[in-house]
A and B are shown apart, each in its own frame.
Chain A
Amino acid sequence: MATAHADPHDEYSPLKHQYEDIEQQNECYTVGMWTFLVTEIMFFGALFFTYTLYRWNYQEDFYLAHEHLNVTLGAINTTILLFSSFTMVMGVHYAQLKDKLKVLGSLTVTMGCAFAFLVIKYFEYAEKFRDHLYPGANFTTDAASLHGANLNHAQLFFGLYFGMTGLHAIHIIIGILCIGTLAGMWAKGNKLVTEDYLPTEMIGLYWHFVDLVWIFLFPLMYLMPQPYK
């Protein structure tokens, strides 16, 4: 009997036994992740559709209500998310090179950006809550806060604003948890992630999707053109 170290079956291989080769396995992983992302597109797509419909019907009031949003903070958040997407893809790049330290650095910067995004979002939300701009029984009737918009239509706008950016923020929080878990596995030297870059790539795909949603949310919520001028 050969010793355990000499046995080739004891060597760690990222290839699982049910796959023909590593390329088939990688394609299976990627297509599986994209299937999940397609369901996310469907999920967010319905919300974007609702938004389109109401903005089309109540252009004037949506424009007036959106004046309460801070374009500068929105643009800073967009920059942060785009940059975090870049650091995430660099993490995947270093995972391909098996450069543990640089992977950990990239993932940490990505998480830091995600956290900064949430902090800015907190200040934006706090401003809305202060002015009673969350939909419900306590919604403001103050014309100055509403910028002269119709009360009900402004409620619709802020309902969609909180609903869509809130769901996006939940995705950011889940992203931080996923990237944190991944970084923990890298730090421990778990072979599942260090010997195979695909887990890092899949978390990366999720993170880019979150970025993708914000790419559309930012112009739709913050950059509305003035109607009929």
Chain B
Amino acid sequence: MAETPLHAAHDHIIPPRVYVLNLLALLALMAATVAIAEKVQFPAFWIFSGTFLNSAAAMTIACIKAFLVIMFFMHIKWSTNLTKLYAIAGFVWLSLLFITLGDYMTRQYEPAPGWTGKQESALPRVIGAHDHLPNDANEANLRPRQ
């Protein structure tokens, strides 16, 4: 196509064929996700359990469906760069939110190996820098543990 996509959404009208194909793709993906969930039990692979792989497959299909809806039904494919930026911004925030799972999911590993509660193992400090402090003051800097 020769025209620049910048103002294309306002200039040209998308043929309904695109929407029909998108609907068919979405329905096929929905059928696929139901079929996988009902009939397929993935075996464990590498560090992932079969349960995890089944969930990952369902979520991957959901993301593809979301992508199709956003691109074609919500016209992001033909929209201006500013609109694209706004559309992406929401999902960037969502991924930032889910990064905090890194905290929740690793709490079972605390206290970390080698974390004895002694001052020298908490943070890399100059050896002897806290020797003038009483012991309980050093302990107060550490996080409480069970």
| Chain A residues at the B interface, C-beta cutoff of 8 Å | 22-23, 26-27, 30-31, 34-35, 37-38, 41-42, 45-46, 49, 52-53, 56, 59, 71, 75, 78-79, 82-83, 85-86, 88-90, 93, 96-97, 201, 204-205, 208-209, 211-212, 215-216, 218-220, 223-229
Contact = CB atoms under 8 A, between A and B. Distances in A.
Contacts of B94: 41-42, 45
B122 interface: no
7 contacts: A30-B83, A41-B90, A49-B97, A71-B37, A85-B73, A208-B73, A211-B73
Interface residues of B, number: 52
Chain B contact residues: over half helix, strand or loop, or mixed? helix
Contacts of A90: 16, 19
Contacts of B16: 90, 93
B93 interface: yes
Contact of A215 (B22, B66, B98, B104): B66
Interface in B33-79: 33-34, 37-38, 41, 49-51, 54-55, 58-59, 61-62, 65-66, 69-70, 72-75, 79
Given A23-B10, A45-B93, A229 B51 contact: yes
B142 interface: no
B105 A56 contact: yes
Interface of B: 7, 9-10, 13-14, 16, 19-20, 22-23, 26-27, 30, 33-34, 37-38, 41, 49-51, 54-55, 58-59, 61-62, 65-66, 69-70, 72-75, 79-80, 82-83, 86-87, 89-91, 93-94, 97-98, 100-101, 104-105
